[in-house]
Each structure stands twice: as structure tokens, then as C-alpha cells.
Structure 1
């Protein structure tokens, strides 16, 4: 509660000081926009910035007095002052307006739902036409998702991931791209279902994060480097997306196996290969991203590793994925076992992504999100429930796996599931 009170008081004083209202355009060669207060009193402000602040103040006074003619005159005068703003800045402003009106991520969310429904229905009837339709709509949805990402990159002049909001968008995009590749390879609807599910849920997370205000906030000083944002942050976020995709594939395995008759030996083997391949991809990107993060930390804070909660979370993802791969290599788990471990990967990744921020400590703790605690608790509980369902004895499953005899494994250690 003290943290919430602090955040609200900080917001109040920032608004009272007009610090958040930075709409005085900078001169050519300057990147930071100004507030009315700074433009009016700062010695470094140009005459044009002072005039811009004056016309905006006149517009506010006219609006308060309900003087439409004076308001229009002030707005026209303000618009005339922006002609000297650089062409790049004007282009970004126009594109940001078009972007906000188009709402590509809201549209993508709706299309992801449609893809999910069509791909799931293809498991029941009309598998060929419905599966093909789901694949093409998924491709279109990813084009829209990608266009939204590129728009944000152009507007901000930054790599795709700069804060929690953009990380949610990018995690979903990376997972959906991998899901599309799986669907192109296997053509069984599983890639479409998982890509659509992951894409929708991550965009839903991003939408809820956007409720807190600006999604294109100013960069913190330690993050103000495009090189490391484009390397460490992008690479490790792709690792997040891949681990989540493996977890969603694992959920499909367990749900289809326990509750339907749609998981035969061939489908189980196919799903197991998908999960294994995606976890291998996630391990590589998580490991490389963590190493790059250590190099960045050494340059920023003078130490490669400091057991910071966020650093520990990244290490947990690497270790967990490596554990799953070694369990598969060593014959300790088979198809069902890797699926159960894959679902647990969702818990590990969600903790590294959001949970570490909730601790409120460490150099990577950029703010507590009060609503995230409940939703993370719900998500973790749901994943634990799915793990419990996956551990139900095979003879209780509805799928043909209950009657099939698993392959022998030439290892002394017992294997979990088939």
C-alpha cells in the first residue's frame, strides 16, 4: 500500500507540475520535447517553443471560456509553428496518429481468436479446409502483428522491446512466428492453435498493461542504449516466447490426451518432437541472452553477475530448459514426461518475466504492478492444475495412449509416461 501511495503521489505531483505533458516540439537536432513550464521559463528554450507554449495557453483559456473562434485561432497559430519541425518528426507524429486509430493489436487479438476456433474445429470435422483457412488467417494476423511492431519501432526510434508492454507484444509475436513455422511443417492444426493462443494471451496482457497510461514511456538511463536493447533484450525475450510456446504445446498434449480421443501414438510422437525442438531453441536463446545481459551489466554497473532477482530468473529459465533436455536425452522422460515438464516451464518463465518485478528490489525492478499479482497467481495455479492432470495414470486417459504400450527405453532409470 505504501508503494501504491508513493506511485499515486508521484503521478499527482508530475501532473501538477505538467511534467508528463511534453507536447512542445523540439527544434531540429534535439530529441527531447518540452513542457509548457520549461518552454516558458527555460533560457535554453527557443523563441518558437515560447510562442508554441503561448498559443497553447491561449487555446486552453479559450476552451475554458467557451470561445470557439479564439480556440480555433490559437490552434491554427500553433499548427503553423510546427512547420519548422523536422520532416522525420512530423512523419512520426502522423504515423503515430494513424497507428493509434488503426489499433493493429486489437485487430490481431480478434483474428487470433478466429484462428484458434478454426484450428480447434479442424480436429473434429472438415480438417483440410478448416486447417488451411486457419493457417492463412494466422499468416494474415502475423502480418498485422508485425506491422504494429514495426510501427512502434519507427515511432520510438528504438528496438522492439523497451518496457513490459512492448515485451508482451514481442513475446507473443515470437511465439506466434514459431507456431506458424510448426504448422507449415506438420499441418495438423497444433501449431495454429498454440500460436493463436499464445498470441492472444500475450496481447491481452499488453492491453491490460496499456491501461496504466503511456505505452511509449521515456527510457530509463540504464536502458538508453539501442545496441543492448537490440541484442540482449530481443534475444532473451525470444527465449521467453519459445519457452511459453513449448509450454502451450505441452498443454495441448495433456488436454487432448486426458479429455479426448484425438491423441494417438503418432500425434503424441509428433507433439513430443515439437516440444523438444522448441525447448532446444529456447535454451539457446535464453542462454545467449543471459550472457549478453551479463556483459551489459558489467558495462553499466561494473559487475557481470550480482545475483539480482531478474538475473536469477533468467538463469532459472536456462537451467530448467537444460534440465528438460537432459531428462529427454537420458531417457528419464518420454512423451508425457516432457509435456509435464514443458508446462512447468510456463511457471518458471512467468516468474522471470513478471514475478521478479513484484519483489520490488534489485536493479531490474522497474515498478510493481498491483493487478499482476492476482493474475499471475491465477496463471500459476492453472498450470499446476494442468501438471496434476498430466500426472493422472495413463489408463485413466481417454486417448488411445491408455491402451497403447509405450516403447522400451534401454536405460536403468524409470521413464515418466509414454
Structure 2
């Protein structure tokens, strides 16, 4: 892609300034209407590129098509997918992106908090080992009080730029390509209303990964557990020997969890965890929500059994109280599906190599829309977008990694056409 004037960064800087934070407590679809603000802009930009069928549906999904330009009739339809929402963990309102050009390898101070007289937010190289590969590159960060939104607006911008490239370079042969931009990935509902038949793709790729050159073909399997504790409520002035405070029961349950194992902050690699995410209630009733993660279903069930046993042990000290233990499946390890379709991974690895990168297969300690899409009939591994330190004020991405991701998307389309 020599002499190509990339548009990914220009688009990215525009997209991150649109607040698209999703809301895990909302029952609406999408969970926040403001996500559609970016989705409407994407449809507008696609129309300006000449993509006539780009549309935003009532659920907040953007669908669009790049028609095939090859004479081959048997090229599979490929989908490229990214999500428009940002994490509920850190505010995404008022993002002020900064470009640290020709970065010199030193810690990056984000200025806004210091300007307000607060301790500075600093991206320390010692805490971000992938930064060591970025010396001389242009690093994009937020200003210190918000997340950046590279997860996953970097992927959105890269797909949009790749579409722009393919539409302006008809000599690059490819089959039919479908684009899909989803809401609510960050709250586990990114594919809830996807119309797979309407999408009409054979294989897909989410562009939502981290380090340059990586492809993720394995994710956690995931369940959610909701524990509803029913205590014994009475007036606190007359409570001796009667009151069983549901909040204290919940606190005892949380305190019973190990401090040195089984949590996100104490596990790595293929280790799973039990992670409390929300506590709400009063002395009468309390609700504790957990996410359970493991790379195997057997591991999930083992951790759920452990948590249930801990709950039962705690309740023994509260004979008048009870609890409901509800498990909800969230997603499953995409590798179970992808192993049945090796070409979808191999073609992506070939595309990464053609860009001149060392292709690396990885497992991800998380999930993507691709996890669910794979089990919905669209085998869908995850290609790097260059995003790092997601869900934090220290989030960053490099200009050069974003442009490499654009190159990879284009080459993926070419490889499928060549090998058809």
C-alpha cells in the first residue's frame, strides 16, 4: 500500500470525541442511545465513499457491503466487525486525544490532571512493556481524565480506512465483503440483536485485539452468576437475636474468597477466576453479581461449584436467611468453532505475514463479539487493532500499528480471493 494516504488516524481522532459509553444496568437496545451518534456518522461516511446499502437498524447495528470485484464466483463472503461502544469502567465523555509524535521512549505524562492541580496521570514504560516496541512511533493517548476509546474505535477506524482503500483501488481483487459495527460489546450484548441471515457472511474477523501482528483464536468461556440473598429484617432497636443483615452476609461471602488466587488480580495465562462486579441491597435483601471465567466449560463449572459452596458455608451462620444462585451463560471459547474451520485463521496469519510482520497466535483473557458470532454460525477470530491498556485512563495506540492493521484487513480480503 505504498503512497497511500491513510485515513484511519483522522477518523479515529474524530470518533473518540463522540461519547459512546454503554451501560450494563440498562435494559434498552442499545443500552445507551448515544452509541448511535457514532453509528450514524459511520453510515454517513460510508455513503460518502459510495457504499449505497450502508444502514443503521433500530438496535444500533450498522450493516454495509463492499461488492465483489473478482471474476471468481466461489469466493466466500468475509465480514469485518468492530464495536462502537466504550467501557462503562471509565468515562468516555469529553475525550481529548493527544498525539505524542516520534516518541522517545520515556514515560508519557498526561497533562490534564496536573493542570487541575491533581497528581499527574503517567503511562510508565515499566508498566506497559509493549511500549518498548514503539520508540520513534507516534503514540495517541487521552489527556488523563478519560479513557481514549481505542477499544474499539481503533478497529472501527481501521475497517473504515480499509474500506476506503478497497473502494479507491479496484485493482485489488476481493470477494463480497460485509461490514458490521455493533453496540454494547463492553456489556456482553454486542451480538444480541445481530441478524446473521441479513449479514450473510461465511467467515468473519473482529478487529479488536492488542499487540501488532497478533491474532487471537481462543477466548475465555464466560458465565455470569447472580446471588440474591434474603436476610431477616427487623427494627435495629429491637434486633438482638433476630436481625440477619443481608449486606453483612454478602460481605462475609466476599471476604471468604481467596486473597492470593482465583481473582483477576492474581491470575494469568490460562488461569480462570471468580470476580465480583456489583453489590447492591439493604439489610433485608442484597444482590451480588459475579463474572466467572475459564478457558474450559469444566473449569467454569468447577468455579461455580466453589462459589456455591462458599455461599452455603456462609449461610450456616445465618439460619433464618436464604439465597438464590443463578447462572447465566455469556459466551464460550471460540476455539471450539475455529478449529473446525482452519482456513479462517490461516488466511489471517498469511495476511499478517504479507504485511511484513511476525504473525503470532494468542489466547485472550477476555471475549469479543467474535466469541458469540462463532457460535452463531460465523467463525470469527480476532485481529489486532493496536489498542493497549483498555478500560483505563492510560489507554494508548500507535499511529503505525493502526496503519498496519489497515494493511492486514486489505490483505485478508486479497488472500481469500486468491485462495478461492
| TM-score normalised over the length of structure 1 | 0.24
Greater percentage in strand: 2
Higher relative CO (Cα under 8 Å, sequence separation at least 6) belongs to 2
| TM-score normalised over the length of structure 2 | 0.24
